[in-house]
A and B are shown apart, each in its own frame.
Chain A
Amino acid sequence: MNVVRRSRSPLFFLALISMLLLSMGVSAQDAPVTVTLWMHVHPPRLPLDEELIAQFEAENPDINVEYTTVPDQEWDTTLSTALASGSGPDLFNQATFAIGQFYAQGVLAPVDPIAAGYESQEAIYEAYEAGESLLAGATFDGTLYGLPTELSGYACYTNDDLWRAAGLDPATDFPATWEEMQRVAEQLTVRDESGALTQRGFDFIWSNPIFMLLIFNPMVQQLGGNMIDEVNYTASINTPEVKQVMQYWYDWVNTWNLGGPQYTFTRDAFLAGQLAIDCDGGNWFAPQAEEAGINYSIHPQPRWENAVNDNAMANYAYFFMVNSAAAPEVQEAAWRLAGFLTSFPDRYLDTAGLFQAKADFVASEAFQQNEIMPVFLEEMGKSSYHPRIAGFFEVADALMRTRDRIIIGGEDMDTVLAEAEQEVNDILARAKAEAEAAAGS
């Protein structure tokens, strides 16, 4: 068989290549932008997320959303590994605990107000109730790096049945001060014949180091102290205020025998009806208490009798944050999605118990008639965020070690606090140096 080869002219190939390039350009321009979104697992929120993402994609055909949920206990490892390998999400729902680290290392992209549906950054602050304060968790050097998916602050939950069984009324007898708390807790505590606690009146949450910055430090702040200066990256731990709080915690365990780190996690104990007061629950804890059949009421946190500040426990939050390594068009699409998903505060509160403090929602009748939210909002308004520092978890671990050396180990408080101050200052100095190196690179 003969094959006749025809020679093509150079013009033909030129035209072919041009058409190919043109078609590629057109297809790239028309191709939808894909935004990978990672959220931590909160089961009540997931169906609403999926519904709203589908609605967003329908309204924005130029954007695809790849939605992934990551369990809480795997979040830090999964996210940091993904970011290290360059396969991190474009948009992620990150707690404020590591936000200082992320900001210092340049991982976060500033909020794009226009893409998120606002006229300017100032308009975002105005759109939120007490915006300057409640969005401070994601604000660094006057720039906003996130939109909140859930704002949290703690109030005290009382198991009203246990109170009545002890002859107390939580509405009138709830302690306004930490000094009163000891007396009330003693009345609510039940011990067996061997002296073992079978029901605690109140107890601190001992299990996780972060509570040293969410609960212990705010108690120090009520007295006018502050263990961590997030601006200057310095620690003040060997102070009279810290000693007063530490002595109270020490007495709680060793002198008054009202609780301690060896007992069941406070939230679990409260839900099991074995704890009469739990002061480490956000508004998201209310559905769990209802499901457990606890007859509860909500109260503000106690203050010290000699308090100089009226703060409650530290605020913390989850914010939508955008990966600064994402392409500009992906960042723009990600902020558009974040702006959309934070436009339904009523539904997120009703469905998932998550509080997004949009000013118009807070002003609404539905919010004002909510039985518990005004208490939480008022407490959050009086409080500030936990320190947003690089090295947050290392500092928290060092503070927990300090607490345990004194309370469990029985070491001399002055010595331990002096050593802790040095140790935390060393951690902060290293974290600050790394942040400065990252900023310079």
Chain B
Amino acid sequence: MSNVSQSFIARRQRWGFYFVLPSVLFFVIFFLYPILSGFYYSLTDFTLLRPPQWVGLQNYQDLLKDRLFIKSIGVTLQFVLGSTVPVWIISLLAAVVFFQKFRGREVLKLLFFTPVLPSLVVVAVVWRILLHPSGVLTTLLRPFTGLGEINWLNDPVLSPISMILINDWSIIPFYMLIWLAGLTGIPEELRDAARVDGANPLQSFLRIELPLLRPTAVFVATISTINAFQAFTLQYTISPGRGGPIDVNTTMGLLIWKYGFQYYRMGDAAAVSVILFAIIMLVTGFQLLFSRGEQYSLN
């Protein structure tokens, strides 16, 4: 290669580097540095009010014996389970419904999407009113339950279920939209061909559309799982005593806040966040690995 073309490439590379530099700097300052400093703090005794003291892996050892932390893992996994599998199924079904052509579809779709628009804090406040022991939901269910009062938020069994219901209600429309985009991306010719070959709508969905939705499914599964693991806002806003009753709503995200800013145990909070980070990476990696199986292609 001539010197002229080599210097041209070098110049292009230099300019390319300049163009990506802002993004790299942004990533380093706002992502990499906090992650690394979080890991460093997890190895210290840090009360926020005094400089951190190096303790090595002591915080991690302590967490293994910490009942609140161990309980928070169970609470988080339970919330993740309730906020993923039902969400995938219901949002997919909703997408299939809204993919059909019928009168008033766009208006209904808009109405269905509205829970996504307000912030989760607003959603929580509205639901707190709805879930009053003798509130609207109890009244609606009274013909079936015969109960004048239901402790939706203060019953240790009902409360986590209520959290999942509120969360799912607010996020299903978003994932419905993702599924809908995936369905729209499937060429109509394939459905026509299946129909010509005698496939009924269910067979067409199961054999043609569902396999082709695999990339969408991976995206929905990954994003919804990550979001569910990071659960905080709803539990902080609506659960009694922030995580109660009896810590049945103390997710790992909420525990990080409690340890860091309520208990002045920032070292422990950082250790929990590192463990949560590792769990999310592990689950996400597993999901991505699973999705690398047989690929369906339109070609």
Contacts and interface: CB of A to CB of B under 8 A. Distances in A.
A105 B133 contact: no
Given A194-B148, A434-B47, A441-B50, 20 more contacts: A76-B261, A77-B261, A83-B49, A84-B266, A101-B264, A102-B49, A192-B148, A195-B148, A196-B134, A198-B134, A209-B241, A261-B240, A261-B245, A262-B154, A390-B264, A391-B263, A391-B264, A404-B246, A405-B246, A408-B156
Closest CB pairs A-B (n = 7): A194-B148, A196-B148, A105-B49, A262-B154, A84-B48, A394-B263, A393-B262
Given A262-B153, A393-B263, A404-B246, A84 B49 contact: yes
A400 interface: yes
Given A405-B246, A434-B45, A208 B50 contact: no
A334 B153 CA distance: 45
Contacts of B246: 401, 404-405, 408-409
B147 interface: yes
Tell me whether chain B's interface is mostly helix, strand or loop, or mixed: loop
A208 B53 CA distance: 32
B240 A206 contact: yes
A401 B246 CA distance: 5
Contacts, number: 95
Interface in A78-98: 80-81, 83-84
A106 interface: yes
Interface string A395-419: 0010011001100110000000000
Contacts of B240: 206-207, 261
A136 B239 CA distance: 34
Interface string B67-95: 00000000000000000000000000000
Given A76-B262, A80-B261, A394-B263, A105 B244 contact: no
A344 interface: no
Interface string B37-54: 000000001011110010
B148 A263 contact: no
A260 B154 contact: yes
Contacts of B48: 80-81, 83-84
Interface in B246-295: 246-247, 258, 261-266
A438 interface: yes
Contacts of A408: 154-156, 245-246
A168 interface: no
B58 to A, nearest CB: 12
A208 B241 contact: yes
Given A81-B48, A107-B49, A394-B263, A400 B148 contact: no
Nearest to A410: B156
Interface of B: 45, 47-50, 53, 132-134, 142, 147-149, 151, 153-156, 240-241, 244-247, 258, 261-266
A80 B49 contact: yes
A347 to B, nearest CB: 33
21 contacts: A77-B261, A80-B49, A81-B48, A83-B49, A84-B48, A84-B49, A101-B264, A105-B49, A105-B50, A106-B49, A194-B149, A197-B134, A198-B134, A208-B241, A261-B154, A262-B149, A262-B154, A394-B262, A397-B241, A408-B245, A434-B47
A120 B49 CA distance: 29
Nearest to A210: B241
A105 B47 contact: yes
Contact of B264 (A80, A106, A400, A401): A80
B153 A400 contact: no
Contacts of A401: 244, 246-247
A262 B246 CA distance: 14
A105 B155 CA distance: 38
Interface in A191-216: 192-198, 206-209
Query: Among the interface residues A77, A102, A390, A400, which one has the most CB atoms of the partner chain B within 10 A?
Result: A400
A264 interface: yes
A434 B265 CA distance: 10
Contact of B151 (A197, A198, A262, A264): A262
B10 to A, nearest CB: 41
A263 B264 CA distance: 31
B233 to A, nearest CB: 13
Contacts of A264: 132
Nearest to A390: B264
Nearest to A441: B50
B132 to A, nearest CB: 7
A98 to B, nearest CB: 8
Contacts of B49: 80, 83-84, 101-102, 105-107
Contacts of B148: 192-196
A196 B261 contact: no
Nearest to A196: B148
Interface in A180-235: 192-198, 206-209
A391 B259 CA distance: 11
Contacts of B261: 76-77, 80-81
Contacts of A107: 49
Nearest to B264: A101
Contacts of B147: 194
A106 B262 CA distance: 18
